[in-house]
Amino acid sequence: MSGRLYQINPICPQCKEEHMWWNVRLTDEEQKKLDHHTEVHKAESELYSLLSEPAIIITRKLKCGECGVEFEARVGIWKEMEVGWHHPDFVDVGTHML
Ligand SMILES: [Zn+2]
């Protein structure tokens, strides 16, 4: 596992809670694929990147903080989901504009 964290926001399949965030690490192989994708698309703007297909899709077992059900989430990862990534044109992931 690499040391970089990514924030994911899947919806709970049972209670449909959609405002939960998990920080996940990628496996070395997933990180390598994401880095490769980033390199290939580095000339593109962040907005374009976010509207494109995700660089990778990961599967993680998660436990819902609301109803407690454990579920397997399949989520796309964009480099912009890395914790600490931010851009002046975007509101940081997980934060709200006042
Ligand atoms: Zn739930």
User: What gap in Å lies between CA 46 and CA 52, rounded to an integer?
Assistant: 10
Q: How far is ligand 1, taken at its centre, from the CA of residue 60, in Å?
A: 15
Q: What is the pTM of this model?
A: 0.76
Q: How far is ligand 1, taken at its centre, from the CA of residue 69, in Å?
A: 6
Name every residue whose Cβ is closer than 8 Å to that of residue 21 and which is 6 or more positions away in sequence.
7, 8, 9, 93, 94
Q: How far is ligand 1, taken at its centre, from the CA of residue 36, in Å?
A: 34
Binned at pLDDT 50, 70 and 90, residue 51 comes out as: confident
Does residue 87 carry a pLDDT above 80? no
Q: How far is ligand 1, taken at its centre, from the CA of residue 38, in Å?
A: 33
Q: How far is ligand 1, taken at its centre, from the CA of residue 46, in Å?
A: 31
Residue 95 pLDDT:
54
